[in-house]
Amino acid sequence: MPAYPIRTITPEEFDALGEVPSHAFLESWPQEALERERSVVEYDRTIAALDGDRMVGSASAYSFRLTVPGGTVNAAGVTMVSVLPTHRRRGILTGLMDHLIADAQRRAEPVAILYASESAIYGRFGFGMASMHQRLTIRRGEGVLAPGAAARAASARKLRLRIAEPVQVRAELAKVFDAAMAARPGTLARDERWWDYILWDVAAMRPPGMSELRCVLAEDDAGPRGYALYRTRMEFGDDGIAAGAILVRELVSGDPVATAALWTDLLNRDLVEEVVARMRPIDDPLLAMLADRRRARPAPMEGLWVRLVDVPAALSQRRYAAAADIVLEVIDPVLAANAGRWRLRTPGHGAAGTAGHGAAGTAGCERTDQPADVRLTVQALGAAYLGGASFGQLADAGHAEELTPGSQAALAAAMSSDRAPYCGMMF
C-alpha cells in the first residue's frame, strides 16, 4: 500500500479538492472560480493523493486537441498539480505526475502539455518549454502605425467594426478562432465547454476595477474577419486628466486588414491612457505594424511546456518544413519506451502551418539500430516539437549533440514553423 494512495474523485468531492491548490498557490478560490472550473473538469482525469481520508495532493488533465505544424494531435492538458505545504518533499508530486502521464499513454495521447507555475519543476518529468508569449503595454499616443500598416488600416474602412455582447456573437467568435487556429501551432481547439469557460464573466472574478468582458468585431459582407475581447477601466488623475485603461483578453484574426482595424480602434479610444495586452504571440504582428515597436514595451515570458508521451506517434503526426532522414537518440529516463534510437523520415511536403495530412506528406518514425545523427533529451524534443525552439541554443546548453555533421541543421529546418508557437489560453 503506497504511503499516499492516489485515486480519481467524485463530483461531490470537487470543492474539497479545490482546497489543496488554494493553499499551495497562496490564493483563495471563491465559489465562482470553483463553478468555472467545474464547467470543464473531467472527473475521470481528476485525482487526489490521500493521507488517510484527507486530500493532500491534487492534479487533473483535460482532453485537448492541440494544433501542431500541419495538423492537430490529441494532448493531455495537465493542470491543478499541487501538494499541501504540510506534505511537500514526500514524493506526492511525482506520484501525481506519473499517474497523469500513464493515463495519457492509456488514452493514446502522444503529448502532454502544461503551464508551469515554477519552471524548475517540470523538466525532471520530461517537459520542455515549447512556446513563449509576451505582455504588451502601449500608452496614449504611442500606437502610431508604420506606413505599410497604416495603409492597411486605411483600407480597413471597408470593414465594419461592431461592438457586441460576447455571448451574443459566440458563433462569430468561434468561426474566426477556428480559422485562425489552423495556422498557429500551440493553439487549443475549443468546444462548447471551453467557449463557456472563455466567456465566463462574473463580477467576483474580474480584475480590480475592470468592466465586464466586452467585444469588438471586424466584419464585412462575407462575415466576421477578426475580433477582440477586452475589459475597460475608467480613472481620472488628481489633475483631472483621463487615465482610463483597456485590458485586451484576446485579439484573433487571420486577416492583416482586420488585425490593423482592430488594433487601430483599441489604440485610439478616447479617455484611454494605456492599453495592455497579456499573453500575446512572441511574433505578434502588432510589433511589425507599429512605427516604433519599442513603445509596445514587450515583456516575454514562458508559455506552453510540452512532453512527448509517445515519441514515434508524436513525431509522425505533425508535418515538416523540409525533407530529412535523421536518426535521433532520445534520452528519456522516465519513459523507457521513448528512450533509444529513432529514424525520422520526413517527406517535406507542405510547409509547417499548412493544415491537414495527406498520405504523401506523412512522416515516419520507427526504431532503428543505425548510428545516431543527433542525440538529445526528451525535454529538448518537447521544446522543439511545435517548431519554435532553436536547436543551436539547445545544443549550446547541452540538451542536444550533433553526431553527424549537418544533421542538426537539417533537423532544425525540418521541424521549424513559419509562425511561432503560441497558446493564448491558460488552463
DSSP 299: E
Reported as half-sphere exposure (CB side, CA atoms, 13 A), residue 43 has a value of 9
From first CA to last CA, the distance across the chain in angstroms is 32
**Which positions of the chain have pLDDT values less than 50?**
349-360
Check: CB of residue 113 under 8 Å from CB of residue 78: yes
d(CA 100, CA 122): 13
**Which backbone phi and psi does 94 adopt, to 5 degrees?**
-60, -40
Give all domains of the chain, ordered by start, each with its CATH number: 6-109 (3.40.630.30), 133-301 (3.40.630.30), 310-415 (3.30.1050.10)
Q: What is the pLDDT of residue 352?
A: 40
Q: How many CA atoms lie within 13 A of 205 on its CB side?
A: 16
Sequence-distant (6+) residues with CB within 8 A of 30 are: 204, 205
- The pLDDT, as a whole number, for residue 78 is 98
In this prediction the pTM is 0.92
The pLDDT value recorded for residue 148 is 80
| DSSP states along 373-422 | SEEEEHHHHHHHTTS---HHHHHHTTSEEESSTTHHHHHHHHH--SS---
Residues making up the chain, counted from first to last: 427
- For residue 94, the surrounding DSSP H or E stretch is helix 92-106
In the β-sheet with 111-114, what is the strand arrangement from edge to edge? 6-8, 46-51, 54-68, 71-83, 111-114, 305-308, 128-129
pLDDT of residue 359: 37
Backbone angles phi, psi at 282, to 5 degrees: -65, -25
List pLDDT tens digits, range 328-381: 999 999 999 999 999 999 986 444 433 333 334 589 999 999 999 999 999 999
User: Would you state the pLDDT for residue 355?
Assistant: 35
pLDDT of residue 206: 92
Q: Report whether 418 contacts 353 (CB < 8 A).
A: yes
Beta partners for 312? none
